Amino acid sequence: MTSPTASDINTIDSILDRALNSEDISTADALLLLTQTAPDLIDRIRATADRLRQIQVGDTVTYVINRNINFTNICEQHCSFCAFRRDEGTEGAFWLNTEEILAKAAAAVALSATEICMQGGLHPGAKIDGRSLDYYVELVTAIKTTFPQLHLHAFSPQEVEFIARQDGLSYADVIIALQQAGVGSMPGTAAEVLDDNIRRIICPEKIDSATWIEIVTTAHRLGMPTTSTLLAGHIETPSQQIAHLDSLKQIQIQAIAAEYPTRITEFIILPFVGQSAPAPLRSRVGRDQPVLADNLLLTAVARIFLGNYIPNHQPSWVKLGLEGAKTALTWGCNDLGGTLMEEHITTMAGAKGGTSQTVAELQAAIREIDSRPVYVGVSQPLGTVSASAETLGKRNYHQRSTLYELI
C-alpha cells in the first residue's frame, strides 16, 4: 500500500475541514474520500463523520420497536440478488391471509411495538374484485381498525408502481388511497442503485431510476414521508455509489425548496448478501457476505456528503450483524433501526445477523459503543490528536417513533 503524499493529506484535510464547517462537499470530493486506502486517512474520514454525527444529531442513539411483516414472497419479478421470491404454487411460496397478519400485529403490540413495516412480493393475484389497490387498502384498513395506534411504514415505490400499473392509476392516486387508509410512511427500498446501467443487470424488471425518484418525490409532495436506501457492495462502482447519494440529496433539496410537507427521514446502506442469491450475480460478485471495512467507509462518506440534508443514518444489523452495526455507530450512524421481530428477505439470502433483536439487546449494544477522540479541526499531523480535540460523550439511547420523535 502506497503511503499518502503531503499533497494527498492536504487535499483530504481541506475536504474534511469544509465538511466540519457545515459546507457541502462535491461529488468529486466524496468520490475522493471513498477511494482512500491509507489507514490514517480512513481513520480521519471516520473521525470527521463521527464528529458531524454529533453536531447534526447529537450523541443519542435511537431505535424503534417494530415488527417486519413480509406478507407474500410470490412475485412477478426475478431480481438477480433476490433469494426471497417464489412463483405461485412452488415450494416455499407463501401468502399470508388477513387473520395471520393481524395475529403478527397483535404479537407486536404485546411487545410494545409502535410500528409495522410491511412489504411483499409483487403478487399479480393479490386483488379484490379484480383491483390490486382494493387488496392493499383492505389490508391496511384491517390493521389500522384493529390497532389504530400502530404506524404503518408500508409499500415501497416499486409496490406503488405495481398497484398503479395493475389498475391503470396514477402514482398519486395510489399514494393518496394508501395514505387515507392509514399508511403513515413509505419505505425507500427498491432503490438498489439509482443507475440504470446497474439496474438493467441486477433488477431489469424493476422500475427505472427516474420512476423511483418520481414516486418518492410525489409522496413528499402529498405529505407521505419516505426513507432512503442504497444496495451496496455488488457490481456497482464507487462513482455510481456517490451518484446514488447525490440523487438522494437532490430529492431532499427539491423537497426543501418546494416546501413539501414531508421529506426523506433516514438513509440506510443495505450491504449485498450473496450466500443464497441466484448464482449468476453471486458468482460475479465473488463473495457471500458484506465486507465490513468497505461498508464502514461508505457509511462515513454518506454522513459527510448527506448529513446536512438527511441527518438520520442507520446501519443494517440484519446484514452486518449487531457487532458490525454497533461499529457503524462510530462511523457516522446515529440510529440502530428496529427490533423487527422477524425478517425473511435478507435472511433467505444468507445474512448472518439474525431476524430479531430485543429492546434490551439493542440497548446493551449501544452502551458498549467505544467513545473515541475526534478532531474538532483536521489540519494537523496524521495519527495525532491535538489539544483542541474533543472526546465524544457517552452514547445514550432513546426509543423513537418511525418519524424520529422521541418516545
**Domains, in order of start, for the chain:** 17-399 (3.20.20.70)
Inter-residue long-range contacts of 375-379, CB under 8 Å, 24+ positions, other chains counted: 375/20, 375/44, 375/47, 375/48, 375/51, 376/20, 376/51, 377/17, 377/20, 378/13, 378/16, 378/17, 378/20, 378/44, 378/47, 378/48, 379/13, 379/17
What is the spatial distance between Cα 327 and Cα 141, in angstroms, rounded to a whole number? 39
Q: What integer pLDDT is reported at residue 82 of this predicted model?
A: 81
Dihedral of CA atoms 46, 242, 292, 236 in degrees, nearest 10, equals -160
Q: Identify the pLDDT of residue 356.
A: 77
End-to-end alpha carbon distance in the chain = 48
In angstroms, rounded to a whole number, what is the distance separating the alpha carbons of residues 328 and 289?
A: 16
At residue 282, the pLDDT reads: 63
CA distance linking residue 210 with residue 300, whole number of Å = 26
Contact 72, 96 (CB under 8 A): yes
Res 346: pLDDT: 53
Provide the grid cell at 213: 425518484
Separation CA 361–CA 293 (nearest Å): 24
SS3 46: helix
Cα distance between residue 309 and residue 367, in whole Å = 28
List, in order, residues 6 or more apart from 227 with CB less than 8 Å away. 153, 185, 186, 187, 188, 189, 264, 265, 266, 267, 268
Grid cell digits, residue 69: 411483516
In order, the DSSP letters of 241-254 are HHHHHHHHHHHHHH
How confident is the model at residue 323, as a pLDDT?
Answer: 92
Question: For position 379, what pLDDT does the model report?
Answer: 40
Please list the pLDDT of the chain residue by residue as tens digits (407 residues).
Answer: 568 888 889 999 999 999 999 999 999 999 999 999 999 999 999 999 999 999 999 999 999 999 999 999 999 988 887 888 898 899 989 999 999 999 999 999 999 999 999 999 999 999 999 999 999 999 999 999 999 999 999 999 999 999 999 999 999 999 999 999 999 999 999 999 999 999 999 999 999 999 999 999 999 999 999 999 999 999 999 999 999 999 999 999 999 999 999 999 999 999 988 666 665 676 676 676 778 999 999 999 999 999 999 999 999 999 999 999 999 999 999 999 999 876 555 555 454 556 779 999 999 999 988 654 444 344 433 333 333 334 455 789 999 999 999 99
pLDDT at res. 394: 73
**3-state class (DSSP) for residue 375:** coil
Helix (H, G, I), strand (E, B) or coil at 201: helix
Predicted pLDDT at 270: 95
Task: Confirm if 157 and 188 have CB atoms less than 8 A apart.
Answer: yes
**What is the distance between the alpha carbons of residues 284 and 282, in angstroms, rounded to a whole number?**
5
In which residue are the cell numbers 473521525 written?
47
What is this structure's pTM? 0.92
Q: How many whole angstroms separate alpha carbon 105 and alpha carbon 114?
A: 10
In this predicted structure, what is the pLDDT of residue 135? Answer: 97
